[in-house]
Structure 1
Amino acid sequence: MNYQEKFQQKLTTPDEAVKCIESGMWLDYGWCVGTTIVLDQALARRSQELHDIKIRGGLLLRPLAIASVENAAEIFNWNTWHASGLERKMIAGGFGYYNPIRYSELPSYYENITPPDVAMFQVGPMDEHGYFNFGPQCSHLRAVCNVAKKIIVEVNPKMPRCLGGVGNWVHIDEIAHVVMGEDVDMPILGGEVNPSEVDLAVANLVMPELMDGACLQLGIGGMPGTIGKMIAESDLKDLGVHTEMYVDAFVDMSMAGKITGKYKPFDQYRQGYAFAAGTKKLYDFLDNNLECAAYPVSYMNDVARVSSIDNFVSINGAVDIDLFGQVSSETSGVKHISGAGGQQDFVLGAYLSKGGKSFICCSSSFMDKKSGTLQSRIRPTMMDGTVITATRSNLHWLVTEYGKLNVKGLSTWQRAEGIINLAHPQFRDELIADAEKMNIWRRSNKK
């Protein structure tokens, strides 16, 4: 039997495919841009005959149909590996929970947790050898397929074919059901960079710290996007890419000729990544592009691998920072914001890299929407319930619009002084008073 015959045998409707799902099961919904649409809708139509369905997924970029059904939280339990804005609202509304992770180890978690009874996710069209490409969601999906009792794929004709690495496919022989998805565009994350004054100020402080031949990891957001745009317009050359998430900024740098990867100790001349999300520009660039290599996150985020790359530069954001140099990128108090992702891995990997630099970049303050007052991101100590993402012993460079600070080797009073100088001027005297109470301030510090 050839692969096309197998494909036709396993091809079915979304409603037929989800009939295998029973109450009490664990499901896996894929990752980010690969979350299903028609299978999710079909499961929502079955919702009132089910209960206690536990689902893992993450970084949702489209609303879930199952989250909108009657009594959704009593039927479905969403467990995210990393919360998007949509999931933040779902968690606040009682529909879901966050799974704390060290992202580099996520594939191995599937060997120790309850395996999914059913895994269902989007894939690209089957090739002549019977393989379905995961597209820009390599991450941990191969590990999911290794342990799932049943696999259902939803074919997305517009899914870019992401090549170059390993673990980025599933074969027709492993699959129980195939359904055809809707002919819809890939979900958009981000867009044209319109940097704020703060973004520009932070980017201008980071740029002088970059060097020819550096290998980059960027997160998502205005600041990394602004830095990427500046790099594309700079005189920097022969940069490399080894990143968890591939974003539009890398496309801009590539098109400007800034990326060659010639100095990488492995995957030379290739841009490695674990998953990607962005605009159509990004998806078109990744499609069948052998310069870009999709790998499992256990490969991309491995601290030993990252630290073996000389001049590795990691650029990430934060929610809150305290005067001891602790960073939270996950919560503000008990309010859930995002997730740990690979920040721990890349902060430490860049910290240990020969010539490497890890940057935590954020605005010094923000406007509280409820009170309409300016609030400082730099706090004396973290609020009760705040989760620490990067520890004070791993912090390297901290950057706000008011300056930058290399905290390596600094004592508590030196850190407090330097971090306070990065705070919004409105809050500095108050932070000094708090530092004095905590015995991490020397009176001679104040200029």
Structure 2
Amino acid sequence: MTAQYQEYTSIEWEKYLKSGNRIFIGSGAAVPNALIDNLIENSEKFHDIETVHILTLSDNVWAKPEHKDLFKVNSLFIGGKNIREAIAEGRGDYTPCFISDVPRLFNENSLPLDVALIMVSPPDEYGYCSLGVSVDIVSAAVKAAKYVIAQINPKMPRTNGHSFVHLNQIHAWMNVEQELPQFISPEVDRRTEQIGQYVAMLVENGSTLQIGIGKIPEAVLRYLANHKDLGIHSEMISDGVIDLMLKGVINNRKKTYHKGKAVITYCIGSQKVYDFVDGNPHIEFYPSEHINSPAKIAKNDNMISINSAIEVDLTGQVVSDSIGYQFYSGIGGQVDFVRGASLSKNGKAIIALPSTTKDGNISRIVPHITEGGGVVTSRGHVAYVVTEFGIASLQGKSIRERSLELIRIAHPKFRDQLLADVRKHYWVPEYQEASPSSVPELGDVELKKFTFKNVDYTLRPLAPADERKLQEFFYSHNKETLIMRYNHHITQMTREKSCNLVSVNQHSDLALCFTRKDYLGEAIQAVARYYFIESTNSGEVAFVIKESLRGMGMASTLLGEMIIIAKKRKLDSLVACVRRDNASMLKVFEKAGFIRQPSDDFDEVSLKLPLTDSEQAMA
């Protein structure tokens, strides 16, 4: 059998192809370049051949201007050398589609295939070749095309799963060795690192991941090194995933679908990736119609999809295939996995992107979609949007709330303008005056995780989008709590009042909260704040903790964080006024070092914490 397939050194193209036919070209790192070159060398009788493919890591010679009479490009996902230029210049076409739907296009005569040009490994003793590093839509093309022509490449890994093609399915082949193209991960800058940190905070132990390739995915994977029992159900993998599998972080033990296996459709990366998947029984390759099926993706509990975008508007619409009128990439598998993660039990659909373009001059959080841009993922699909300035939680949020959430994670120099713009198009009340501000002293990601009595809580700044959450927190209090906090029994928290309390200039004042997420969403459990007093360079501290959570250390933790921030801001002191009968709160302050001060009001105790040497000497 080996001798038989080695006899082919050229293809008799006229037996399988004629002018005007449509051919499929293999994907990713499995482009059969030798077949393309051989076809061009023997093309004197052919013209107007349509090429159909997705991302191709190749020189893509068929898309060069000198071959415009021979080939017409029709890309289902734009990428790779010469393809984008051909489409921009009108020599090629872009056909938008979900990757999960491509097999239907081939099978139901929307895009019927005459010939499929593929790359495979040498056959085994039973005559089976492997599609190797790219099963994706190649598998469907092999089944749908009238003729299949293969480049048999000894350098192609033999991958496991549904990746095999028998020689009797191949009508002609050439045995040509070809190095697989390598993708070396780019250096991760500080901005991208922060995005990676934020995304990693959304990933719980035991989650199953879909993740792509590039700076942001690599940054995310770096910050998952301390996670446990992660799984992979992804369109693709690259070097970062391999590193986590070798460390045992990704072990697929907690998956609820394809348990114990990492399942993908293709891989791209360094030679390390190709060597790792070669014969590896722990990684299985399946066709796109299987891996990208939202219904099958959703069979994974705790499914997390991590994708990027070109821009996101203030309602949550995601543009990821075009820059204005210029088509840049494609729909790909983004919507498949966003939808699958949304349907998954405890799943999360995440869009991660830098807050601005590389030069910092254009915000990628925008008041409206750029003219000519197209929505790939709708405002109803995405649960989280992440930039280097934080995490915007959109699920269950009104247009007003999500606008404020997204402004909070935009670059600070664009926030005021975004708030002004949003008033022109969406309903934001007149009393919402301040754009969100940050608390950099809280740390790079402005979020901290704490556990009290085996329950996880997040400490973060209070934000304008928390208006409704703060109302709900207020109405959860009993009469005693309201008296202790406000010194009288107030019965209403209007939207205006709540808006005022969450619209904090965090650069001078400070407002922090503990939140907890459950099946009902995120709820505020505790709020702590200080109001800056300029005349004394001090901050007046106030707390309120949910009744059922008192005595667990939340107040002490919040106070400790505020003391650290106040010292970094070089405040001279923190002060507080506490009702004399509020023994538990007095204990919290005094344990932190606050000293009782003379007070004109017998019912209240004044306290002060000196923060500078001079204040301590006076105390």
TM (normalized to structure 1)? 0.92
Aligned partners of 1:7 and 1:255: how far apart in 2? 36
Offset of 1:194 from its aligned partner?
Answer: 2.1
1:75 aligned to which of 70, 76, 84? 70
Question: What is the letter of the counterpart of residue 274 of structure 2?
Answer: Y
Question: Is 1:207 aligned with 2:207?
Answer: no
Report if aligned partners of 2:262, 2:284 keep a CA contact under 8 Å in 1.
Answer: yes
Partner of 1:434: 421
Given that 2:324 and 2:373 are in contact with CA atoms closer than 8 Å, whether structure 1 keeps it comes out as yes
Q: Partner of 2:446 in structure 1?
A: none
Which secondary structure does the structure 1 equivalent of 2:331 belong to? coil
What residue in structure 2 maps to residue 141 of structure 1? Answer: 138
Amino acid corresponding to residue 123 of structure 2 in structure 1? M
Greater relative contact order (CA < 8 Å, ≥ 6 in sequence): 1
Matched, 1:34 2:30: yes
| 1:116 is the counterpart of 2:109 | no
Residue 151 of structure 2: which of 154, 158, 176 is its match?
154
TM-score of the superposed pair, with normalisation by structure 2: 0.67
In 2, Cα distance between equivalents of 1:101 and 1:227: 27
1:103-152 CA-to-partner distances (Å, cap 9, x unmatched) read 11222221112422111111111111111110011112222122211111
SS in 2 for 1:366: coil
| SS, match of residue 50 in structure 2 | strand
Instruction: Please tell me whether the aligned partners of residues 17 and 152 of structure 1 are also in contact (alpha carbons under 8 angstroms).
Output: no
Cα pair 1:160 1:286 within 8 Å, conserved: yes
Listed one character per residue, the Cα deviations across residues 278-330 of structure 1 (whole Å, up to 9, x for unaligned) are 11111011000000010111111111121221111111100111011000110
RMSD: 1.8
Give 3-state SS (helix, strand or coil) of 1:77's partner: strand
In 2: Cα distance, 1:210 partner to 1:130 partner: 43
Matches within 5 A, 1:94-133: 94-112=90-108, 113-133=110-130
Q: How many angstroms does 1:15 deviate by?
A: 5.0
Counterparts of 2:41 and 2:3 in 1: how far apart (Å)?
30
Aligned partner of 1:186 in structure 2 is: 180
How far apart are the structure 1 equivalents of 2:126 and 2:280?
19
Report deviation, 1:47.
4.1
1:362 paired residue number: 353
Q: Counterpart in 1 of 2:402?
A: 415
Q: State the match for 2:312 in structure 1.
A: 321
1:424/1:69 Cα in 2 relative to 1: closer, same or farther (>3 Å)?
Answer: closer
Structure 2: unaligned runs, 5 residues or longer: 435-502, 504-619
Deviates more, 1:141-150 or 1:129-138: 141-150
Letter in 2 for 1:142: S
Is contact 2:128-2:164 (8 Å) kept? yes
- 2:165 corresponds to: 170
> In 2, distance between residues paired with 1:120 and 1:20?
11
Indicate whether 1:305 and 2:296 are aligned.
Answer: yes
Q: How does 1:78-93 map to 2 (within 5 A)?
A: 78-86=73-81, 87-93=83-89
Among 210, 216, 227, the residue aligned to 1:217? 210
Offset from partner CA, 1:237-275 (integer Å, 9 cap, x none): 111111011221210110111011111123111000011
In structure 2, give the amino acid aligned to 1:337. Answer: Y
Cα separation, 1, equivalents of 2:36 and 2:15 = 12
Say if 1:43 and 1:66, in contact at 8 Å, map to a contact too: no
Question: Partners in 2 of 1:65 and 1:416 — Cα distance?
Answer: 45
Conserved? CA contact 1:76–1:95, under 8 Å: no
Deviation at 1:333, TM superposition (A): 1.4
Equivalences, count: 432
Query: SS where residue 173 of structure 2 aligns?
Result: strand
How far residue 6 of structure 1 moved from its aligned partner, in angstroms, is 5.1
Give the Cα–Cα distance (whole angstroms) in 2 for the partners of residues 418 and 30 of structure 1.
42
Match 1:289 to one of 280, 291, 297: 280
Range with bigger deviation, 288-297 or 75-84? 75-84
| Distance in 1 separating the partners of 2:368 and 2:159 | 43
Structure 1 residue 351 corresponds to structure 2 residue 342: yes
Instruction: Check conservation: 1:73, 1:94, Cα contact below 8 A.
Output: no
Contact 1:398 1:404 in 2 (8 A): yes
The structural deviation recorded for 1:391 is 0.3
Deviation (angstroms), 1:336 = 0.8
Q: CA deviation at 1:216?
A: 0.8
1:256 to 229, 247, 251: 247
Which secondary structure does the structure 2 equivalent of 1:365 belong to?
A: coil
Query: Alpha carbons of 1:203 and 1:282: their partners in 2 closer, same or farther (altered >3 Å)?
Result: same
Change (3 A) 1:408 1:114: closer
**Take 2:304 and 2:181, find their aligned partners in 1: how far apart are those partners?**
28
Structure 2 SS opposite 1:43: helix
C-alpha distance in structure 1 between counterparts of 2:429 and 2:323, whole Å: 29
For 1:254 and 1:125, how far apart are their aligned partners in 2?
Answer: 27
Matched, 1:443 2:430: yes
- Give the CA deviation at 1:19: 6.3
- Which of 370, 380, 383 is equivalent to 1:383? 370
SS at match of 1:315: strand
CA contact (8 A) 2:304 2:341 kept: yes
Residue-by-residue CA offset, 1:49-70 (whole Å, 9 max, x unaligned): 4221111112111112333362
Q: Is the 8 A contact 2:195 2:219 kept in 1?
A: no
Aligned position for 2:392:
405
Determine if contact 1:30/1:57 at 8 Å carries over to the other structure.
yes
Structure-2 separation of matches of 1:380 and 1:195 = 28
SS of the residue 1:426 aligns to:
helix
Q: Is the 8 A contact 1:119 1:148 kept in 2?
A: yes
Distance in 2 (alpha carbons) for counterparts of 1:45 and 1:19: 16
Once the 2 structures are TM-superposed, how far is the Cα of residue 7 of structure 1 from its aligned partner? 3.1
Q: Percent identity?
A: 33
Question: For 2:55, which of 53, 56, 59 is the aligned residue?
Answer: 59
- One-letter amino acid of the structure 2 residue matched with residue 205 of structure 1: Y
TM-superposition CA deviations, 1:396-437 (whole Å, max 9, x none) = 000001111110111111111111111112222221121111
The answer on whether the counterparts of 1:14 and 1:38 sit within 8 Å (CA) in structure 2 is no
| Contact in 1 for aligned 2:298/2:344 (Cα 8 Å) | yes
Deviation at 1:20, TM superposition (A): 3.6
